[in-house]
Amino acid sequence: MSEIKKLIEALPKAELHLHIEGSLEPELMFALAKRNGISIAYSTIEEIHQAYQFENLQDFLDIYYAGMSVLINEQDFYDLTWAYLIKCHEQNIKHVEIFFDPQGHTTRGVAFSTALFGIDKALKKGFSEFGISSKTIMCFLRHLSEEDALITLNEAKDFLPLIDGVGLDSSEVGNPPSKFKNVFASAREMGLKLVAHAGEEGPPSYVEEALFLLNIDRLDHGNRAMESESLIEELKTRQIALTVCPLSNLKLGVVADLKSHPLKSMLDQGLLATVNSDDPSYFGGYLNDNYFAIQEALNLTKEQIVTLIKNSFTGSFLGDEQRNKYLNEIDNYLKNNA
């Protein structure tokens, strides 16, 4: 294995853009379908792999929402989250800020609390067994109305100790951040952190709305912000972290190939870019696979990899003490392995 791959594996990392429902591996999907007596569209792993070929975001979302239909009971959400945390442990991921899509479950009759409690129980075990710290971010589905999002935020009020932030995901084009201005303002008043997917497929104006109308603390994807000098300047000045997802971008046609991915240019322009896996079960790789692929495609240097990994902690919602602890661990590793 190359030096740089060893470094990627060895350094402690944070993952800031991970949809827990997107970590549902085919094997677990089959097992849960059987356990819950639910029929799914596939009978073999082979068929699943054939189905996971996407032209764009919507192609993926249709399959992603169908996939989550096997998640019914608290135990299912626990098993899902625990499987992801085992991957984190294997990949030396020390801190995770995971998304879940409550409306993807409540619209099917699964209670908000069922999903949240199952996820939370696994996250607590992840901390006690592996020392992996975590934050939980509930995303609003942007293809639904703001009224629906407000109802969901209202449901979250009973569980605020378990929730750290809100996000915005699903079909981007035609559902601009401005549609969710009020619900984001309410979430802010409740003390929650704010993030939003913007500039994945949507135009730079969506990133602008996320920054100026929603007042986000962090930007998910943000690729198309690179089309605007003034947005780049704003992101740089505010030191807004971008949660970039290379293999996702490739699989959803956001970039034609990884060699044309904007990650290097983001770093060159002083943006706080991070690497993440988005929906690893659907896009063919967990966090380290994303680092390996983008490092190779863009020929990123050791220094650039260290910057990206440090950014994952700097851009996290950890408090200063914990953030500095992880950053020091990275420096110590580099000092001892120079």
Active-site annotation, residues: 200
Q: Which stretch binds Zn ion (CB under 5 A): 3-11, 25-33, 70-78, 270-278?
A: 270-278
Question: Minimum Å distance from CB 75 to Zn ion?
Answer: 25
Question: Minimum Å distance from CB 64 to ligand ADE?
Answer: 6
Residue 7 or 141 with smaller CB distance to ligand ADE: 141
Provide the edge-to-edge strand list for the sheet that holds 93-100: 13-19, 93-100, 133-141, 165-169, 193-198, 218-221, 241-244, 272-275
Q: Report whether 172 contacts 197 (CB < 8 A).
A: yes
CA–centroid distance for 201 within its chain: 16
List the structure tokens of 239.
């030191």
Distances, alpha carbon 338 to alpha carbons 310, 313, 331, 334, in Å: 17, 22, 10, 6
List the structure tokens of 45.
């792993």
One-letter amino acid for residue 203 of the chain: P
List the structure tokens of 222.
């943000």
DSSP assignment of 269-320 equals TT-EEEE--BSHHHHT--HHHHHHHHHHHHT--HHHHHHHHHHHHHTSS--H
Residue 141 or 163 with smaller CB distance to Zn ion: 141
Residue 252 or 330 with smaller CB distance to ligand ADE: 252
Query: Of the candidates 20, 29, 57, 271, which one interacts with ligand ADE according to CB under 6 A?
Result: 57
Contacts of 120 (CB under 8 A, 6+ apart): 136, 162
Q: Which stretch binds Zn ion (CB under 5 A): 133-141, 184-192, 276-284, 312-320?
A: 276-284
Round to whole Å and give the CA distance between 140 and 231.
24
Residue 134 or 277 with smaller CB distance to ligand ADE: 277
Question: Minimum Å distance from CB 174 to ligand ADE?
Answer: 13
From the list ligand ADE, Zn ion, none, which binds 22 (C-beta under 5 to 8 Å, kind-based)?
Answer: ligand ADE
Round to whole Å and give the CA distance between 17 and 233.
23
On the 0-12 / 13-18 / 19+ scale of CB atoms within 10 A, 282 is buried
x/- site string to ligand ADE, residues 241 to 260, per CB under 6 A? Answer: -------x------------
Query: Of the candidates 192, 209, 278, 304, which one interacts with Zn ion according to CB under 5 A?
Result: 278
Query: Of the candidates 76, 97, 209, 278, which one interacts with ligand ADE according to CB under 6 A?
Result: 278
Shortest Cβ contact with Zn ion: which residue?
Answer: 278
Q: Which stretch binds Zn ion (CB under 5 A): 24-32, 44-52, 141-149, 278-286?
A: 278-286
Question: Minimum Å distance from CB 329 to ligand ADE?
Answer: 30
Round to whole Å and give the CA distance between 2 and 272.
26
Residues of this chain, 168-207, that bind ligand ADE according to CB under 6 A: 169-170, 197, 200
Residue 4 or 195 with smaller CB distance to ligand ADE: 195
- What residues make contact with Zn ion under the rule CB under 5 A? 278
- What residues make contact with ligand ADE under the rule CB under 6 A? 19, 22, 57, 64, 169-170, 197, 200, 248, 278-279
